[in-house]
Structure formats: C-alpha cells, structure tokens
C-alpha cells in the first residue's frame, strides 16, 4: 500500500540502542543503562494511591479536552510557587505528554512548509514531528561558547515562522539565563515567529533555577510534562500554557486529535504535585550521580565535557576517540555492557563525534557504569 512522503522520518536512535540493550539482556548479559532519558524511579507513591482510590470510586471516562479543572488550577499554582508568575488556569492545557503538546502546538501555529528553528544538538523528535506535519525544521548549529544553546544572532534573517528552545536542554543539560531567553523571545517576535519553550526538565536544576519563558512574555507556548521531575514517563501526561486567545484553538484540535489526556494519569499527576519530599529525594540522587559523572567520565578518558546546569545528561565531544559515534556506542555496549546514545540522534551534522550519557538511574548503576567505562577505555 502507498505511504506518504512526510511519513519517512528518521528512527529515534536511542530507541534502537534500547532495543540492542534489551537483546543483550535477553541473551543473559547485565547492561548498565546510560542511554535512556527517564528516571529509574516510579511515580510518587501518593500518585498511585490516589489512582487506586479513584478506580474504586467509579469509571474513568473521558475528561474534557483541556483536562481536569483541578489539575489545571494546581499547575497554575506551580507557576506562582516556582516563578512568581500569576497564571490564569484557563491558559493551562493538559496534554498526552509533552509529545502530545508538540503536535498540538505545531498544528495550531504553523501551515504546511513553514520554517521552524530548532537548536542542534537538540531533542530529535522536534525535527521528526515537524517533518511528519509537512513543516520545515531549520537546524540552528549552536556554538560551544554559547554552551550549545541558540542565541538571537543565530536566527537573524532566517524568515522563521517559529522558534523552539529547550532549557535545560536535552542532550546538553545547559540552560538559557534570563537575558538569553529574553533576547531569543525578542528576536523571534521581530520576525513574527511563534516562540515555543520546552521546559520539560524544569525542577531538575543543580546551580540556578531555570527561567520560564512565561516570566518574560505571555506571547509564548510553554510545554512541560510529568515525565521527568515528576518521574511519570509512562503515564503520558504533560501540559502546555498558551496565550489567552489560543486556548479555544487548542481546545478544538485537542478534542479531535486526542479527546483528552488519559484520565487515570491526570488523577495521578494531580496527587504527584504535592509530593515534594519524594521528588526532592529523586533530585538528590541525580545530584550525586552528576558529581560521579563529572569526576568519572574524565577519569575514564571522556575529557571533553561541560557540567550540565540541569536535566540528567552529559554530552561528550568524542572526536578525539572516534569519527563514528554510532559504531562507538555499539562497541561500548558490546565490550563494556554500557548502553549510551550516539550524538547523531541530536545533531545530524556534528553528532558523529559526540555521545550522550544519561545519569537518571540509581547511583549504584552509575558508579558501576563508570567503572566499566574506565576498564573499557583502558583496554582500547
Ligand atoms: C527535551 C524533551 N522534550 C520532550 C520529551 C518528551 O517527553 P514526554 O512526551 O514524555 O513528555 C523529552 C523526552 O525525553 C525530552 O528530552
């Protein structure tokens, strides 16, 4: 049967690495997972307890398309707590993960062929979702001196319909400070480009608090999720904050595309939001893991790294070690039993010389993984 041209998107390479790791495990090997970008922990206990109660109380049918009002109100309160921003809950839309948010945002904001700027390296699915919607991703090759984040000058004259940023970013963990975020919002507005800020790693910060685009302007789409800080990847629930006059547009698309985000996950997410003590304990693990990585990777021979401001990744320049990050990642999996992600996922141009290491799992796993990497590199 025929297939569309726009459906020919690239695979998400990290998923392929996960599959290779799974095969190795099925064959009896013990693999340390430094490839996956997901917490090793589950949803907060209160979240699953709230869901158990709700399931006993009655059926979990559809919710309204924009999401449970109590959850929207609780998220609005988070903006007061985290950023001192007074947010109208009507502007909060509950989505099936931030991935569902991207679909809604790109559909609401752009027409076929529109050009949307994305940082390279960056989260791979931005590019693939844009392509699948017949939009044109425009890679912004970011500079090491800008800590691999786009700056206003990078978009000058590009005639963009949209600009997508992420802070803290995947794969680098670097953040945009207030001045950098402000400059980017202004540069986007100057060419009438919609500004989209992926804030999925907010809450996982090590030195300074991440800045939300909403602290700077209401003329932005802010996309977030329960997947990372709230440790709920598989629940597929996230949110988006949109300008007042976009709420109805999004509502109509959401009604038709998804009907609603999973009801069960919305109930769990609401309860998760009050579990600060448990979530902070997860954060302490990431902080400890980050310190181990920043010492252990250079000791193993991965010397070209920069300390991440947030998230749970270290992005390493390995051009001194390989010209083929995919083959190198396969070799590390095979010989060291450590799964890592080749940079090609994040940067089609320069990613053959980079690897991403995730430290989202337990501290014992991270320590063991670093030991294995050291022994592997000594034998190379
Ligand atoms: C930067 C970034 N945005 C979005 C996502 C997608 O997250 P989800 O759809 O689980 O909310 C990820 C997942 O790793 C990510 O790293």
Minimal-distance CA residue to ligand 1 atom 4: 98
Distance 85 CA to ligand 1 centre (A): 24
Q: Answer yes or no: is the C-beta of 93 below 6 A from any ligand 1 atom.
A: no
Distance 352 CA to ligand 1 centre (A): 22
Q: Answer yes or no: is the C-beta of 97 below 6 A from any ligand 1 atom.
A: yes
Distance 158 CA to ligand 1 centre (A): 26
Report yes or no: 83 and 135 within 8 Å, Cβ to Cβ. Answer: no
Average pLDDT (125-147) is 96
Distance 1 CA to ligand 1 centre (A): 32
pLDDT of amino acid 345? 87
Distance 200 CA to ligand 1 centre (A): 6
Distance 58 CA to ligand 1 centre (A): 31
Of the pLDDT bands very low, low, confident and very high (cuts 50, 70, 90), residue 16 is confident
Render pLDDT for 203-212 as a digit per residue (tens, 0 to 9).
999 999 999 9
Distance 99 CA to ligand 1 centre (A): 6
Tally of residues, the chain: 380
Distance 122 CA to ligand 1 centre (A): 11
Q: Answer yes or no: is the C-beta of 358 below 6 A from any ligand 1 atom.
A: no
Which atom belonging to ligand 1 lies closest to the Cα atom of 122? 1
Q: Answer yes or no: is the C-beta of 172 below 6 A from any ligand 1 atom.
A: no
Q: What is the distance between the alpha carbons of residues 134 and 201, in angstroms, rounded to a whole number?
A: 28
Render pLDDT for 89-101 as a digit per residue (tens, 0 to 9).
999 999 999 999 9
In the predicted structure, residue 47 carries a pLDDT above the cut 90 = yes
Of the pLDDT bands very low, low, confident and very high (cuts 50, 70, 90), residue 17 is confident
Pocket test for ligand 1, best of 98, 126, 236 (most atoms within 8 A of CB): 98
Q: Answer yes or no: is the C-beta of 170 below 6 A from any ligand 1 atom.
A: yes
Pocket test for ligand 1, best of 35, 104, 123, 233 (most atoms within 8 A of CB): 123
Helix/strand/coil (H/E/C) assignment for every residue in the chain:
CCCCCCCCCCCCHHHHHHHHHHHHHHCCCCCEECCCCCCCCCCCHHHHHHHHHHHHHCCCCCCCCCCCHHHHHHHHHHHHHHHCCCCCHHHEEEECHHHHHHHHHHHHHCCCCCEEEEEECCCHHHHHHHHHCCCEEEEEECCHHHCCCCCHHHHCCCCCCEEEEECCCCCCCCCCCHHHHHHHHHHHHHCCCEEEEECCCCCCECCCCCCCHHHCCCCCEEEEECCCCCCCHHHCCEEEECCHHHHHHHHHHHHHHCCCCCHHHHHHHHHHCCCHHHHHHHHHHHHHHHHHHHHHHHHHCCCCECCCCECCEEEEECCCCCCCHHHHHHHHHHHHCEECEEHHHCCCCCHHHEEEEECCCCHHHHHHHHHHHHHHHHCC
Distance 341 CA to ligand 1 centre (A): 15
Share of residues in the chain with pLDDT > 70 (%) = 100
pLDDT of amino acid 46? 97
Q: Answer yes or no: is the C-beta of 149 below 6 A from any ligand 1 atom.
A: no
Share of residues in the chain with pLDDT > 90 (%) = 95
The pTM (predicted TM-score) of the whole model is 0.96
Pocket test for ligand 1, best of 99, 100, 124, 311 (most atoms within 8 A of CB): 99
Beta-ladder partners of 205:
310
Which atom belonging to ligand 1 lies closest to the Cα atom of 100? 9
Mean pLDDT computed over every residue of the chain: 96
Minimal-distance CA residue to ligand 1 atom 13: 37
In the predicted structure, residue 110 carries a pLDDT above the cut 90 = yes
pLDDT of amino acid 281? 96
Render pLDDT for 283-292 as a digit per residue (tens, 0 to 9).
999 999 999 9
Which atom belonging to ligand 1 lies closest to the Cα atom of 233? 10
Of the pLDDT bands very low, low, confident and very high (cuts 50, 70, 90), residue 13 is confident
In the predicted structure, residue 10 carries a pLDDT above the cut 90 = no
Of the pLDDT bands very low, low, confident and very high (cuts 50, 70, 90), residue 43 is very high
Q: Answer yes or no: is the C-beta of 233 below 6 A from any ligand 1 atom.
A: yes
Render pLDDT for 332-378 as a digit per residue (tens, 0 to 9).
999 999 999 999 989 999 999 999 999 999 999 999 999 999 999 99
Pocket test for ligand 1, best of 97, 148, 198, 200 (most atoms within 8 A of CB): 200
């Amino acid at each position: 049967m025929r297939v569309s041209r726009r459906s020919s998107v690239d695979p998400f390479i990290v998923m392929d690495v996960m599959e290779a790791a799974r095969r190795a495990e099925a064959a009896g090997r013990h693999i340390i997972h430094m490839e996956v970008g997901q917490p090793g922990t589950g949803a907060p206990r209160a979240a699953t307890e709230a869901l158990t109660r709700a399931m006993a109380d009655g059926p979990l049918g559809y919710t309204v398309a924009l999401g449970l009002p109590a959850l929207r109100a609780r998220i609005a309160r988070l903006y007061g707590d985290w950023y001192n921003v007074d947010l109208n809950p009507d502007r909060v839309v509950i989505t099936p993960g931030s991935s569902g948010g991207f679909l809604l945002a790109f559909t609401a904001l752009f027409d076929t062929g529109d050009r949307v700027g994305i940082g390279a390296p960056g989260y791979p699915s931005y590019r693939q979702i844009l392509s699948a919607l017949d939009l044109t991703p425009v890679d912004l090759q970011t500079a090491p001196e800008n800590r691999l984040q786009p700056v206003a000058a990078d978009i000058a004259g590009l005639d963009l319909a949209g600009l997508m940023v992420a802070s803290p970013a995947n794969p680098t963990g670097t953040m945009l400070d207030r001045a950098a975020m402000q400059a980017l919002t202004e540069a986007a507005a100057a060419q009438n480009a919609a500004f989209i800020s992926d804030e999925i790693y907010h809450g996982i910060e090590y030195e300074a608090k991440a800045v939300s685009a909403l602290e700077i302007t209401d003329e932005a789409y802010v996309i977030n999720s329960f997947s990372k800080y709230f440790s709920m990847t598989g629940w597929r629930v996230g949110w988006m904050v949109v300008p007042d006059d976009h709420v109805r547009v999004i509502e109509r698309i959401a009604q038709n595309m998804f009907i609603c985000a999973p009801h069960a996950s919305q109930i769990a997410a609401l309860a998760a939001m009050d579990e600060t003590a448990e979530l902070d304990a997860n954060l302490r693990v990431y902080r400890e893991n980050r310190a181990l990585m920043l010492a252990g990777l250079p000791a193993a021979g991965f010397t070209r790294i920069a300390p991440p401001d947030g998230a749970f990744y270290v992005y390493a320049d390995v051009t001194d070690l390989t010209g083929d990050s995919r083959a190198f990642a396969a070799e590390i999996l095979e010989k060291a039993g450590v799964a890592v992600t080749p940079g090609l996922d994040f940067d089609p141009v320069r990613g053959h010389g980079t690897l991403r290491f995730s430290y989202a799992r337990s501290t014992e796993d991270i320590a063991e993984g670093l030991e294995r990497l050291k022994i592997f590199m000594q034998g190379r």
